[in-house]
């Protein structure tokens, strides 16, 4: 079987000017390039460009697919819309990574499955289906980050060498509300990252509905009152910097994490997914 690689980049916030288009054109004479997109595929050979540099300098979203099992999604957001402190609890080595440039935060999400061939009839539609999670993150919806974290540890079910045994005890990050009712872009992201449905169902058991995400209002008010002054000032500063939605989601996630007594580990989630699969095989639908 021949090798196949697919590269797609999209500019959302600002189109590339003619000079920038010329710069990315120098990386490939075969790519389809417009002011807002860069698309190329290879059946032999490799792309000369550096996707990380292209994201840091030109584009807001990138999707990569190789038929030997590698999938990669990168998203770039302005720093005033998503804070690295919010993202950090969901990072998992090279599978879920994030860093900042002078003006942006870049997310790098990957999935590997060396035992399975990725045969996609038309990969051009994948990024269009997923890119909506960028706008969701910008409004403070952290479900895409949790899905990426969960999918990363789900790799362990396909590859026993993906993590060391001590990763069993890694704690679950804050669980966002609404995991039972994913948006279409979030569902597309979960599929792209190969998130197992049983693992998602187990994770969603402690996720409150979106409309009840604040929980007990009196308990929330007490929790906010007891926050250290420096922390309140930091959160207020985020609001002033046009990060109100992100500040709200950060506070709610922390409130749920700090007021929920039963915290789960990676092992709890993986074991729960295994039990769910076993139960289904033992009691098949009639």
Assess whether pLDDT exceeds 60 at residue 117. Answer: no
CA dihedral for 214, 218, 224, 226, sign (positive or negative): negative
CA dihedral for 20, 21, 23, 27, sign (positive or negative): positive
* pLDDT tier, 129 (very low <50, low <70, confident <90, very high otherwise): very high
Assess whether pLDDT exceeds 70 at residue 213. Answer: no
Which residue in 11, 2, 25 sits closest to 62, CA to CA? 11
* pLDDT tier, 208 (very low <50, low <70, confident <90, very high otherwise): confident
Please, how many CA atoms are within 13 Å of residue 53, restricted to the half-sphere of its CB? 7
* pLDDT tier, 53 (very low <50, low <70, confident <90, very high otherwise): very high
pLDDT value, residue 259:
62
Given a contact cutoff of 8 angstroms between Cβ atoms, the answer to whether 212 and 177 are in contact is: yes
pTM over 0.95: no
* pLDDT tier, 214 (very low <50, low <70, confident <90, very high otherwise): low
Structure tokens at 52: 């990380």
Place of tokens 């595929």: 41
pLDDT value, residue 215:
59
Domain span at residue 178 reads 5-282
pLDDT value, residue 92:
96
Given a contact cutoff of 8 angstroms between Cβ atoms, the answer to whether 75 and 82 are in contact is: no
Length of the chain equals: 286
Given a contact cutoff of 8 angstroms between Cβ atoms, the answer to whether 101 and 78 are in contact is: no
Q: CA–CA distance from 186 to each of 105, 150, 171, 191, 200 (Å)? A: 19, 13, 23, 9, 12
pLDDT value, residue 200:
98
Q: What is the pLDDT of residues 270-285, one digit of tens each?
A: 999 999 998 887 766 6
pLDDT value, residue 88:
96
Average pLDDT over residues 29-36: 94
pLDDT value, residue 124:
84
* pLDDT tier, 83 (very low <50, low <70, confident <90, very high otherwise): confident
* pLDDT tier, 257 (very low <50, low <70, confident <90, very high otherwise): low
Number of domains, the chain: 1
Measured CA to CA, the distance from residue 123 to residue 248 in angstroms comes to 36
């Amino acid at each position: 079987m021949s090798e196949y690689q697919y590269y797609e980049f999209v500019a959302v916030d600002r189109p590339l000017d003619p000079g920038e288009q010329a710069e990315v054109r120098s990386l490939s004479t075969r790519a389809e390039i417009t002011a807002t997109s860069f698309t190329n595929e290879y059946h032999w050979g490799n792309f000369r460009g550096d996707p990380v540099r292209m994201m840091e300098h030109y584009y807001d979203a990138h999707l990569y697919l190789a038929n030997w099992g590698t999938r990669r999604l990168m998203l770039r957001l302005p720093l005033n819309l998503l804070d690295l402190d919010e993202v950090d609890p969901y990072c998992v080595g090279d599978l879920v990574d994030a860093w900042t440039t002078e003006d942006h935060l870049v997310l790098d999400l990957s999935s590997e499955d060396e035992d399975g061939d990725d045969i996609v009839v038309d990969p051009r539609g994948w990024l269009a289906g997923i890119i909506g999670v960028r706008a969701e993150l910008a409004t403070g919806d952290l479900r895409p980050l949790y899905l990426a974290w969960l999918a990363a540890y789900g790799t362990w079910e396909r590859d026993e060498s993906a993590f060391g045994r001590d990763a069993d005890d890694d704690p679950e990050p804050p669980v966002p509300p609404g995991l039972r009712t994913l948006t279409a872009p979030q569902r597309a992201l979960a599929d792209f990252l190969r998130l197992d449905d049983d693992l998602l169902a187990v994770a969603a058991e402690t996720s409150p509905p979106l409309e009840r995400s604040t929980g007990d209002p009196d308990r929330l008010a007490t929790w906010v009152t007891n926050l250290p002054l420096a922390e309140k000032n930091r959160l207020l500063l985020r609001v002033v910097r046009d990060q109100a939605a992100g500040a709200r989601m950060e506070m709610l996630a922390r409130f749920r994490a700090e007021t929920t007594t039963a915290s789960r580990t990676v092992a709890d989630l993986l074991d729960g997914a295994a039990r769910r699969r076993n139960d289904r095989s033992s009691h098949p639908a009639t």
